[in-house]
Amino acid sequence: MGEPVRQLSRERVLRAAVAIADADGLGALTMRSLAAALHAKPMSLYHYIRNKDELLDALVDGVFAEIDLPEVGGDWRAEVRRRCLSARAVLARHPWALALVETRTSPGPATLRHHDSMLGVLRGGGFSLPMTAHAYAIIDAYVFGFVLQEASLPFDGGDSATEVADSIMERFAAGDYPHLVEFATRHVRQPGYHFGGQFTFGLDLILDALANAS
């Protein structure tokens, strides 16, 4: 029964915060719940974090740090593709991240490094400055937007899509939303349907288009 509950530290606080958010969502991450998870009292946290806002900024930067950096100088298409798959995986692992990114506007070091690498590979791939801007905007709009859509799907991501589709379908009269009904019954309800599987299709379509446009 010795107390392995050693001293607090910024590191431990951040780790615990991520764990809570991963497990129960951003809403469950309060200064009180965070303190409880660390067997401490709320006010103790303020020695490692100025306020909750700063905590959230730190979480966002931590998420960017998890994303694979593209290798500057490598084949731009391959590197960007790898990075995008990684980004999607990371954002899926931390479903709360996207909501945060939207709000926070002061990028941390990992975030800046990340952008720097992306700009680097694109420039290295022969894109002009304006074209780099276009490409990066399109790519990230797609990646973030796709994850955003997944997040706002009424179902979790598995194949419970079927049930949800059914329950929604029931709610409206026969002819109300004909195309939605067709889509739900003849596509979504098919075995093997999985929204997330469309990610690479779109990504490759966009990368191809960018390769041609450059």
Partner DNA sequence: AAGTAAGTCGTACTTAGTACGAAGACTTGG
Partner DNA sequence: CCAAGTCTTCGTACTAAGTACGACTTACTT
Torsion of CA 61, 62, 65, 66, to 10 degrees: -140
- Write down the least CB distance from residue 114 to a second copy, Å: 10
List the x/- string, 154-183, binding to a second copy by CB under 8 A: x-------------x---x---xxxxx-xx
Side-chain half-sphere CA neighbours of 205 within 13 A: 7
Cβ at position 5, least distance to DNA in Å: 9
Q: Considering CB distances under 5 to 8 angstroms, the limit depending on partner class, which of DNA, a second copy, none binds residue 33?
A: DNA
* CB of 21 vs DNA, minimal distance in Å: 12
Sequence-distant (≥ 6) Cβ neighbours of residue 7 within 8 angstroms: none
Select the span of 16-24, 35-43, 77-85, 99-107 touching a second copy (CB under 8 A). Answer: 99-107
- Residue 123 within binding range of a second copy, rule CB under 8 A: yes
What is the phi/psi pair of residue 104, to 5°?
-70, 140
Cβ 40 vs Cβ 8: under 8 Å:
yes
40 counts as binding DNA under rule CB under 7 A: yes
The residue within the footprint of a second copy, chosen from 17, 67, 98, 161 (CB under 8 A), is: 98
CA distance 62 to 125: 28
Cβ contact 135:77 at 8 Å: no
> Is residue 203 at the binding interface for DNA, with CB under 7 A as the rule?
no
The residues that touch DNA, with contacts defined as CB under 7 A, are 7-8, 29-33, 40-44, 46-48, 51-53
